[in-house]
Amino acid sequence: MKSIVRLADVARHAGVSIPTVSRILNGVQTVAPELRERVMKSVEELGYQPNRMAKSLREQRTGILAHLTAGLNANFHATLARGVQDAAFDLGYTMILGSSHHLENGQSQLTYAKLFDSYRVDGMVVVPSSTPDPYLETLSSRIPIIEVDRTVGEYSRHAVLLNNAEVMGEAVRHLISLGHRNIALLYGIELVSTEVERYQGFMRAMKEGGVPVDPRFLISDDFTEEGGHRAFQRLVGSGLPVTAVVVTTNEMLAGVVGAARQLGVRIPEDISLIGMDDERWVRMMSPALTVMAQTPYEMGYEACRLLIQCVEGQPGNTPWLHRIPGQLVVRESTAPPRLSG
Amino acid sequence: MKSIVRLADVARHAGVSIPTVSRILNGVQTVAPELRERVMKSVEELGYQPNRMAKSLREQRTGILAHLTAGLNANFHATLARGVQDAAFDLGYTMILGSSHHLENGQSQLTYAKLFDSYRVDGMVVVPSSTPDPYLETLSSRIPIIEVDRTVGEYSRHAVLLNNAEVMGEAVRHLISLGHRNIALLYGIELVSTEVERYQGFMRAMKEGGVPVDPRFLISDDFTEEGGHRAFQRLVGSGLPVTAVVVTTNEMLAGVVGAARQLGVRIPEDISLIGMDDERWVRMMSPALTVMAQTPYEMGYEACRLLIQCVEGQPGNTPWLHRIPGQLVVRESTAPPRLSG
DNA sequence: CTGAAAGCGCTTACAG
DNA sequence: CTGAAAGCGCTTACAG
């Protein structure tokens, strides 16, 4: 393992002082052209690469941004992380990543937050776990933190969220326009903003559409594949004359599809189905599913871009909320209801 | 933004010297119990959190590991990254992530490698882009680098790879045992180890099974969805009496499925199909696909664990190769060939 | 325009 | 067992 080149080595090689090399490399102040040339040649020859740790320590900023996420298991979160990553890179930052082992493990999120804080990251974009984290609350008084995808509890910071109510409204209006009136909602029981807002969007759109909501058509369960499976089983088992169902998450959607197959419920002949997230499996299966499409890459990119704006700009204490639009993608899983008795 | 607590603050608060606090926190040397208690109380009260940047600079090791990957788009790579991440976390390291914008962008991989090197990461686990990178070559003389999933060109380092030839052999034997003899292979044209080894595994298994290979049944294209689509079109367009096809990558597999639908080729009635990677879409579509399953999480975890062993252990210059087994998962897309004329 | 000096927040020989 | 001093590799006032 050969030893690494330091600023001092370059200075000696070029026959100038250390600060001079530093100034040239950072483009600060004017420097005699002949010196600059000599130094640049030495840098090149020795293959000098500044030590960012030392630089960070001295400058009191690291150029590192942390991304805390619920987990890369879900395609949605992986894509969002890629957006964060690309924005960081494009704007000259480095991203450090922490994904909680278990999808909703608040404990490991806390551990990651502390760890990253000890590296003195310049800011964080976090997909909060489902329990509010007091440490992040404290941290946000020192560095900018942006929440993305969802918020939990009372949030007092900045957030980039899907326009949940709006897309949900599109979905409901689509079903109503097809003639459905017995529409069920399967949603996650967790108290996170995504679920709350999608639920509210559903209720509002039904009301605006003049379709009464039967509370027995509102079924909640874990927002996992198993949760979706159970919820759909309960719905069908209830014997209610439902003709369409909307599911709030992609995981639950997979469970619903599995349950429908198992129960012999045909889609869309027996029941129309609208899900969340435009993932490959949703397009590949038949019937291809109608879904509310999110743009996770853009959400991540935007969140990180705004974070950097906070990091580099003035403090700016007033919290803001940035909404990203979603879009209903109509495919084969939605059709007019059967004329049944 | 309130200012952060330093070691000096703790020392003053506890009425001891800075080195004493440092020693206590690092558990080095014996310290008078009463001092230790006083110091720990101050640490607690002030909420002290060591500055890892300063520590890193002094110790000449950062506790940061970098993961360079072709991109988080593919589920496979996202899951692998999660494995790397978890191993790093479990063993006391922090992971910094770099995913190239474009799946096969060697240029951005180089940029990331340099960036991470400037942070003086302790090691790297990299999924190499398809062009060999001389910088990584140089870097590996200074810090340990582990390649995972695939290697490119002459590799002289350590690698964790799927047992490609073995799983491919399983796939081929499965088809032969069903009675197939006209078996096609659709593979990626890129010169990466995965493609090369899967190709070789195919050839060997066919030979061992006593089934001659018609070179017209060997079709290569980009390892993307489009590439798979084209490859399958060409295969079917050729009019050859193929009864089964094996596809080396998940992306190409999606293209094959799309092309089959478009051409009205029924699976498995007309052609049996075996793909790669046990992803959700492969299970959700019908027929559910028979695939060679990899374990990306384990690959990532193992690669990172071995990396840390290198980082903490003696140099150990001899390159090694670690193989992870795959497994054929038989589902509905493979069946005996039709008795055709 | 250039260099000598101080300092970022730690750890680790070195004295005592 | 404890503290004063040096130093990790940089940058940035401060002199000249």
Question: Which residue approaches D11 most closely, CA to C1'?
Answer: A58
Q: Does B109 touch chain A (CB under 8 A)?
A: no
Average pLDDT, integer, range A196-200: 96
CA distances from B66 to A26, B84, B111, B151 (A): 25, 9, 13, 17
Rounded Cα distance, A237 and B26, in Å? 60
Q: Alpha-carbon distance A8 to A17, whole Å?
A: 8
Please write the tens of the pLDDT for every residue from A232-261.
999 999 999 999 999 999 999 999 999 999
Comparing A62-162+296-326 with A164-294, is the CATH topology the same? Answer: yes
**Which nucleotide lies nearest residue A22, CA to C1'?**
D11
Cα distance between residue A144 and residue B98, in whole Å: 22
Residue range B7-50 forms a domain whose CATH class is mainly alpha
Instruction: Quick: pLDDT tens for A30-66.
Output: 778 888 888 999 999 999 999 999 999 999 999 999 9
Protein CA at B43 to nucleotide C1' at D2, angstroms: 19
pLDDT of residue B341: 40
At which residue do the structure tokens 């999933």 appear? B149
Q: What is the DSSP secondary-structure string of A240-289?
A: ----EEEESSHHHHHHHHHHHHHHT--TTTT-EEEEE---HHHHHSSSPP
A340 pLDDT higher than 60: no
Instruction: Please report, in angstroms and rounded to a whole number, the separation of the first and last CA atoms in chain B.
Output: 80
Q: B281 — contact with chain A (CB < 8 Å)?
A: yes
Tell whether the torsion through CA atoms of B107, B109, B113 and B119 is positive or negative. Answer: positive
For residue A216, give Cα distances in angstroms to A190, A250, B295: 19, 22, 42
* B94/A96 touch (CB, cutoff 8 Å), yes or no: yes
Mean pLDDT of chain A: 91
Closest among A81, A10, A80, A92 to A50, alpha carbons compared:
A10
How many whole angstroms separate alpha carbon B301 and alpha carbon B85?
Answer: 8
Three-state helix/strand/coil letters over chain B: CCCCCCHHHHHHHHCCCHHHHHHHHHCCCCCCHHHHHHHHHHHHHHCCCCCHHHHHHHHCCCCEEEEEECCCCCHHHHHHHHHHHHHHHHCCCEEEEEECCCCCCHHHHHHHHHHHHHCCCCEEEECCCCCCCHHHHHHCCCCCEEEECCCECCCCCEEEEECHHHHHHHHHHHHHHHCCCCEEEEEECCCEHHHHHHHHHHHHHHHHCCCCCCHHHEEEECCCHHHHHHHHHHHHHCCCCCCEEEECCHHHHHHHHHHHHHHCCCCCCCCEEEEECCCHHHHHCCCCCEEEECCHHHHHHHHHHHHHHHHHCCCCCCCCEEEECCEEECCCCCCCCCCCC
What pLDDT does B31 receive?
74
Is residue A8's beta carbon less than 7 angstroms from any atom in nucleic acid strand C?
A: no
How would CATH label the architecture of A164-294?
3-Layer(aba) Sandwich (3.40)
pLDDT for residue A291: 98
Closest-CA residue to B52 (of B31, B30, B26, B29): B26
> For position A31, what pLDDT does the model report?
74
CA of A311, closest CA in chain B: separation in Å? 12
DSSP A91: T
Q: Which nucleotide is nearest to B58 (CA to C1')?
A: D8
* pLDDT tens digits along A151-169: 987 766 799 999 999 999 9
Structure tokens given for A221: 């369960």
What is the spatial distance, in angstroms and rounded to an integer, between the CA atom of A10 and the C1' atom of C7?
A: 22
B217 is written with which tokens? 């049944």
Distance from C-alpha of B255 to C-alpha of B146, rounded to nearest angstrom: 31
Q: Does B1 touch chain A (CB under 8 A)?
A: yes
Query: Can you give the residue ranges of every domain in chain B?
Result: 7-50, 62-162+296-326, 164-294
Both tokens assigned to A282: 């949703």
CB < 8 Å to A50, chain B: 118
B17 touches strand C (CB under 7 A): no
The average pLDDT across A194-206 equals: 97
Give pLDDT tens digits along chain B (341 positions): 457 899 999 999 999 999 999 999 988 767 788 888 889 999 999 999 999 999 999 999 999 999 999 876 788 999 999 999 999 999 999 999 888 755 455 577 888 889 999 999 999 999 988 777 788 888 888 899 999 999 987 766 799 999 999 999 999 999 999 999 999 999 999 889 999 999 999 999 999 999 999 999 999 999 899 999 999 999 999 999 999 999 999 999 999 999 999 999 999 999 999 999 999 999 999 999 999 999 999 999 999 999 999 999 866 668 889 999 999 999 999 999 986 54
Contact B50/A at CB under 8 A: yes
- pLDDT category of residue A72 using cuts at 50, 70 and 90: low
- Contact assessment for residue B116 and residue B96, using Cβ atoms and an 8 Å cutoff: yes
Rounded Cα distance between A87 and A71, Å, is 19
Nearest to B99 among A75, A82, A254 (CB): A82
Residue B338: the pLDDT is 84
Residue A56 forms contact with B (CB below 8 Å): yes
Distances (CA, A) of B277 to A69, B89, B327: 24, 26, 10
- Judge if the upstream peptide bond of residue B241 is cis by omega within 30 degrees of 0: no
Count CB atoms within 10 A of the CB of residue A216: 12
Nearest residue of A to residue B139, measured between CA atoms? A1
Second CATH level (architecture) for the domain A62-162+296-326: 3-Layer(aba) Sandwich (3.40)
Report residue A341's pLDDT band, with 50, 70 and 90 as the boundaries. very low
From A210's Cα to the closest Cα of chain B, the distance in A is 36
Number of neighbouring beta carbons within 10 Å of residue A206: 22
Predicted local confidence at residue A103, as pLDDT: 46
Q: Which pLDDT does position A1 carry in this prediction? A: 45
pLDDT above 80: residue A100: no
